[in-house]
Amino acid sequence: MARLADRVALITGAASGIGAACALRMAEEGAAIAGFDLNEPPPDGDWAAAAAKVPAHFMTGDVRDEARATECVAQTKERLGGVDVLVNSAGVAGGGPVHAIATEEWDRVMDVNLRGTFLFSRATLPTMLEQGSGAIVNVASVEGIEGFEGGSAYNASKGAVIVLTRNMAIDYGRRGIRVNAVCPGFIETPLFRDVFETEGLGEVREAIREAHQLGRFGRPEEIANAAVFLASDEASFVTGVALPVDGGYTAGHRFGVAKLMGLA
């Protein structure tokens, strides 16, 4: 049987990248899907492929909008019958050294990445509490686990998402609700390309690729696979976890010794 059969998954940031990949994988596992994003999904992307497989409903809006979050959950329940899984995938990049980052930029990154996760979790939790079950998967980052030069706002927002995840796991575990975070390494998404394919960042991009022990960047579907696991009954004893899916990025560092041993 499909791992998410007879369930409804609500996914933010569902138009592209990791969110769209989550929608497709969850649809493949039998879940009806609701998507939310600032933009409409492309007609030939993962969301469209997912919507062709299962009942689906897509809404546009800003995850920072409290009223829109509440309305999104209400529409999902009305159209699809409930909310069993929430994937908070909407996010933006941004940052800079603290002395140079504008307050407006700090607020933008924190509001999308952290406030958006909070608002959609808060809007969804009453439904999960009423039914006595649910799974929330927050998309954090390896940059929420360890620092990354120039990443002040982004790192702070994703670190906060991880701690929020753990707090919600504590608060709601006895009510049948599991809350986990998946922490991607550097994944080839439109957001990644917008940042690292700009002029002058070629060497930086290569250095980051080399920092992954598998020697490559990740793919959105590899993060979606982890999200499906965390949302499914296969993870029924997993809550409060920040799961790195990072090609070994957080495993440690390479200094050339493996090459001397004939391993690289």
Q: Report, as ranges of residue numbers, the positions in the chain whose pLDDT lies below 70.
A: 1, 264
Bridge partner residues of 244 (DSSP): 183
Starting at the earlier edge strand, list the strands of the sheet with 134-139: 56-60, 32-37, 8-12, 85-88, 134-139, 177-184, 242-245
Q: How far apart are CA 100 and CA 150, in angstroms?
A: 10
Residue 73: burial class (beta carbons within 10 Å; 0-12, 13-18, 19+): buried
pLDDT value at residue 199: 73
pLDDT value at residue 41: 96
CA torsion through residues 124, 130, 134, 140, sign: positive
Identify residue 40 by its one-letter amino acid code.
E
Q: How far apart are CA 123 and CA 129, in angstroms?
A: 11
DSSP H or E segment with residue 181: strand 177-184
pLDDT value at residue 224: 98
pLDDT value at residue 190: 82
Identify whether the C-beta of residue 227 lies closer than 8 Å to the C-beta of residue 182: yes
Q: Tell me if residue 57 falls in helix, strand or coil.
A: strand
Q: How far apart are CA 223 and CA 31, in angstroms?
A: 17
Identify whether the C-beta of residue 22 lies closer than 8 Å to the C-beta of residue 1: no
Tokens matching residue 46:
């993962």
Catalytically active residues are 154
pLDDT value at residue 201: 79
| 109-132: pLDDT as tens digits | 999 999 999 999 999 999 999 999
Q: How far apart are CA 217 and CA 23, in angstroms?
A: 21
Domain residue spans of the chain: 8-190+219-246
pLDDT value at residue 31: 98
Q: Please list the alpha-helical segments (H only) found in 66-219.
A: 66-80, 103-110, 116-131, 152-172, 190-196, 202-211
Which CATH topology does 8-190+219-246 take?
Rossmann fold (3.40.50)
pLDDT value at residue 197: 75
Bridge partner residues of 136 (DSSP): 86, 179
